[in-house]
Amino acid sequence: MDAAKDAGQAASDTSRAGAKRSAGAKSGGAAETHAPAPNAPQFTREEDLHAYHEMLLIRRFEEKAGQLYGMGLIGGFCHLYIGQEAVVIGMQMASVEGDQVITGYRDHGHMLACGMDPKGVMAELTGRRGGYSRGKGGSMHMFSREKQFFGGHGIVGAQVSLGTGLAFADAYRKNGNVSLTYMGDGAANQGQVYESFNMAQLWKLPVVYVIENNRYAMGTSVARASAQTDFSKRGISFGIPGEQVDGMDVRTVREAATRAIEHARSGQGPYILEMQTYRYRGHSMSDPAKYRTKDEVSKMREEHDPIEMVRKRLIEMHGVPEADLKATDAKVRETVNESAEFATHDPEPDPAELWTDILLEARA
C-alpha cells in the first residue's frame, strides 16, 4: 500500500461527528482540502501578525534543533514539530491564562507557544544546566508550572489520562480553567485514551482533547493503524462532541478551539478536535522516511504551509510591507540563534545533580 493511497483513504471519510456548530470548521484531510477555505474565519491584521511571529518562532527553533542534532549537540530522541505549527498557535490564541497544556513527546512547539523561554528549551535539548529540567529531562520531558505547561511525556497516550487529571483538578477547585490535552493520531489508539474519555464525560470535566492527526504514527499511516480514521468520531460512544478541523489554517484552528474551549469551560464536559495536519520532518531525527513519497511532502510544503498562508495574507490582504515581515524574520532568527548560543555554551549539570530531585523533603 503506497503512502499516497493511504492519505487518500484517510481523507476520503470527511464526515463529522457532533459538528452541529461546525460552520467554520472545515473538513480537511486530503491535500486538496487544505486549500484556504473561501469562507474561512478572518483574522485581524494584529492577529495574523501574532500568528505569523509565533509560528515562525517554532519553525526556526525546530530547524535549529535539527541542525544541532546533526552536529551531535542534541542527543537521544528529537521529534520536530515543523509543519504542525498552526495547531498549537491556533489553540493558544483561543485559550486564556490559567488553562493548562499537556502533550506527548513532540512538544517543543507547545512549550514555545505557552511562552516558555526558547533558551531554556534549547538548553534542555542540549542537556545543559540552564535547561527547563536542568538537563535531566531532555527533549521529551520539560515542564513549566509558571506557564501551566505540564509536559512533555514519553509514553504514548499517558498524557491523555494525566491531562484529564488536570481537568479533574480544575473541576475539583472550580477554578474555571480548561485542560488542553494533545495527542497524536497514534496515541488516539491507546486504551487509556478511552478510559479517560469515559470519565471526562461522566464527570463533565473541562478538557479539550486535541488529536493532532499528522497522518503517520511513526511510519504507520492512519489508514494502516486505525479502523476509524475519522478521529473526531472517537468520542461518539461517550457522547463527546468532535470536529475535524483544517489544522494547517491557524484561523480555522482558533475558531474551532474557541468553540471547544467554551464548551468545556461552561461545564458541558470534554470536546474532541481532530486537527488535520502534517509533519514535514521524520517521526524523529532517525526516520528513514521510507513510508511516504518526497512528492507528498513537498506538495504539502508548497501548497499548504501554515506559515506561508499567513505571510501571503499579511502582504495581500493586510498590506503589510515585506520589509516588516523580513524584520520579523530577522528578529525570530536572532532569538533562535541566541537560544542555540546559550544552549551550546551553558555548562552541563553539576555531577551532584545526579542525586537531586528524586524526592521532595517532607515538611514537618
Partner 1 sequence: MATDILMPALSPTMEEGKLSKWLKKAGDPVKSGDVLAEIETDKATMEVEAIDEGVLAKILVEEGTEGVKVNTPIAIIAAEGEDVSAASAGGGTPKPEASAQPAPAPDMQAEGQAEKPAPSAKTGEDAPKAPAAPATITNKAPAPVMEEFPKGTEMVTTTVREALRDAMAEEMRRSDDVFVMGEEVAEYQGAYKITQGLLQEFGARRVVDTPITEHGFAGIGVGAAFTGLRPIVEFMTFNFAMQAIDHIINSAAKTLYMSGGQLGCPIVFRGPNGAAARVGAQHSHDYSAWYSNVPGLKVIAPYTASDAKGLLKAAIRDPNPVIFLENEILYGQSFPVPKLDDFVLPIGKARIHRTGKDVTIVSFSIGMTYALKAAQALAEEGIEAEVIDLRTLRPMDTDTVVESVKKTGRCVTVEEGFPQSGIGAEISARLMVDAFDYLDAPVLRVTGKDVPMPYAANLEKLALPNVAEVIEAVKAVCYR
Please report, as ranges, the residues that interact with partner 1 according to CB under 8 A. Answer: 100, 102, 131-137, 141-145, 150-155, 158, 160-170, 172-173, 191-192, 195-196, 198-199, 202, 356-363
Residue 82 grid coordinates: 515543523
For partner 1, give the closer residue by CB, 141 or 333: 141
For partner 1, give the closer residue by CB, 199 or 289: 199
For partner 1, give the closer residue by CB, 70 or 98: 98
**Rounded Cα distance, 199 and 203, in Å:** 6
**Rounded Cα distance, 21 and 160, in Å:** 25
Q: What sign does the dihedral 326-276-280-76 (CA atoms) show?
A: positive
Smallest separation (angstroms) from partner 1 to the CB of 185: 20
Number of residues written out for the chain? 364
Smallest separation (angstroms) from partner 1 to the CB of 167: 8
Burial classification of residue 44, based on how many CB atoms lie within 10 Å of its CB (0-12 exposed, 13-18 middle, 19 or more buried): exposed
156 CA to centre of own chain: 14
Smallest separation (angstroms) from partner 1 to the CB of 359: 5
Query: How many other CB atoms are found less than 10 A from the CB of residue 308?
Result: 13
Smallest separation (angstroms) from partner 1 to the CB of 237: 14
Q: Nearest CA to 112 among 345, 336, 340?
A: 336
Smallest separation (angstroms) from partner 1 to the CB of 203: 8
Kindly write down the DSSP assignment for every residue of 66-103, as one continuous string. Answer: HHHHHTTSS-S-----TT-HHHHHHHHHH--TT-EEEE
**Rounded Cα distance, 288 and 293, in Å:** 11
Residue 265 is classified by DSSP as: I
For partner 1, give the closer residue by CB, 235 or 247: 235
Smallest separation (angstroms) from partner 1 to the CB of 235: 14
Half-sphere exposure of 293 (CA within 13 A, CB side): 11
Are the beta carbons of 30 and 7 closer than 8 angstroms? yes
For partner 1, give the closer residue by CB, 131 or 282: 131
For partner 1, give the closer residue by CB, 199 or 285: 199
As a whole number of Å, the end-to-end CA separation of the chain is 63
Smallest separation (angstroms) from partner 1 to the CB of 300: 33
For partner 1, give the closer residue by CB, 199 or 297: 199
Smallest separation (angstroms) from partner 1 to the CB of 65: 19
For partner 1, give the closer residue by CB, 100 or 244: 100
Q: Strand 207-213 and strand 271-276: pairing?
A: parallel
